[in-house]
Amino acid sequence: MWWKLLILTPVAIYVVIAAIMFFAQTSLLFPAGQVAPAGPPPAGSEALELTAPSGERLVGLHIPPARGQSDLLILGFSGNAWNAAAAAEYLHDLFPDAHVAAFHYRGYMPSGGATQAQALQQDALLIHDFLEARLHPRRTVAIGLSIGSGVAPYLAAHRRLDGLVLVTPLDSLAALAAGHYPWLPVRLLLRHRMEPAADLRQARLPVAIVAAERDQVVPPARTAVLRRAVSGRLVFDRTIARAGHNDIYDRPEFREAMHEALDRVLGSPG
């Protein structure tokens, strides 16, 4: 009997761990409860709200240009632990002469519903159409930050955009998770699907990538696969030296790269 225990005990432990990971994956991928509240919105900003066809309330923030008028809308999709309002403020600080808007993902307060990767992608279409009808921009650029790089390419594959800027981007959520947990059958366990590389093969628009040299969340190999998917439509590609996945935003080189990235996508034919 002892040899059966030697075999069955580690198998049982493995199954328990796999079950825990299966049920915990949503909170691991989308830690909505860990997102810090945003501060007071900038003067002149506008709270936005819309309702998804399934009834969920989606809440966002629109920050108009700091000076005069603009025909450019920057639609931001934030990281999984970043308050969307704070992300909108950050993008407004980078691009003060554009309209900037970002929505809290469903399941992220004050938006309602339960977070699902596929739902976030569908919401992106709804948000885009809502903002286009409200602001009537002549040009729209989507910026995907971290997990937002899994949402923005889906939008680009299903709606007309003038450009796409991806920061620390992934090529496939399943491939990324499998790399972090090679000892688990991730592709069988994963309920959330994002395939940015596949989406970008369908999109026809200029793309910019800004990556971090020391990114341990989205390893460089995953971003390399995305680059190949973009192929000839990659108009700007910059890796910030010595930067990590999270501290990249604090670096002056990143700000410079983002300005150049936007200039390149807007200056390229769609």
Residue 187: which of 13, 22, 11, 45 has the closest Cα? 22
pTM over 0.75: yes
> What is the domain partition of the chain in residue ranges?
2-267
Question: What's the order of all strands across the beta sheet hosting 72-77?
Answer: 46-51, 57-63, 99-103, 72-77, 139-145, 163-167, 207-212, 234-240
**What confidence tens digit (pLDDT) does each residue in 72-111 have?**
999 999 999 999 999 999 999 999 999 999 999 999 999 9
Q: Which residues pair with 218 in a beta bridge?
A: none
For 199-220, what is each residue's pLDDT tens digit?
999 899 999 999 999 999 999 9
Of 3-7, 49-53, 58-62, 163-167, minimum mean pLDDT range:
3-7
Print burial letters for 228-252: b (CB count within 10 Å at least 16), e (below 16).
ebbeebbbbbbbbeebebbebbebe
Give the CATH superfamily of 2-267: Alpha/Beta hydrolase fold, catalytic domain (3.40.50.1820)
Q: What is the pLDDT of residue 22?
A: 66
Q: How far apart are CA 270 and CA 268, in angstroms?
A: 6
